[in-house]
Homo-oligomer: A and B are copies of this chain.
Amino acid sequence: VTSQRIRLSPDTRREQLLELGVRLLATRPLEQLSIDLLAEEAGISRGLLYHYFGNKQDFHEAVVRRATEELFALTEPVDDPDPFVRLAASLDSYVAYVETNRQGYLSLVQAAYAGNEAMREIYDNARAALTDRIFEYAEPTVLEAFGIEDSPGLRLLVRGWSAMVEHVVLAWVEDPRDIGRQPLIDSLSQALFHIMATAPKS
């Protein structure tokens, strides 16, 4: 009989190492995140690390996946019946995430674009989950509230909007002098609702 403790312990250890990986990613690009560095910071052997993460590529993918899960958890919409309020709250927490974690987020985005097929898929799935959540969270859903029909064109344009948000917020966090935080969030929210209203119907 496998006891709960024995079954959980390696998972917890692995989880701690991933957390450390995400923390290290916050101050350097992914390609500088070596197994050696992680072993040194964690105070355990390289051999044990390879036991948890088959190879460096697997380790990098696990770290990127963990970072996207963290972003996903930190931007969970509030439970409010008004879709505008839900969206504004999610955008606000997303901006706060990039504000407090700019280098880590930049490392994540760059790793996703630069990476192999698997890495890009992890990031694309995460971004799709983030945007799809906008549609599915709470009742009435955004689409119900606005009487908009779901379609592949709508989903494509909304994912395009999330690429816009990524670009705009990263640039703004780098140099926020000229633009207020709330006007920025308001403009991005309004852009989404307009994009949904005029997405290709076919």
Contacts and interface: CB of A to CB of B under 8 A. Distances in A.
Given A110-B114, A171-B156, A187-B157, A179 B164 contact: no
A178 interface: yes
Q: Which of A171, A184, A190, A200 is the most central at the interface, judged by chain B CB atoms within 10 Å of its CB?
A: A200
A194 to B, nearest CB: 4
Interface in A22-81: none
Interface string A111-149: 001100000000000000000000000000000000000
Contacts of A153: 178-179, 183-184, 187
A88 to B, nearest CB: 14
Interface residues of A, number: 36
B160 A165 contact: yes
A160 B152 contact: no
A200 B180 contact: yes
A161 interface: yes
Contact of A200 (B156, B164, B184): B184
Contacts of A179: 152-153, 156, 200, 202
25 contacts: A110-B114, A113-B114, A152-B179, A153-B179, A153-B184, A153-B187, A157-B168, A157-B187, A157-B191, A159-B167, A159-B171, A160-B165, A160-B171, A178-B202, A179-B200, A183-B200, A183-B201, A184-B200, A186-B198, A186-B200, A187-B198, A190-B198, A191-B191, A191-B194, A191-B198
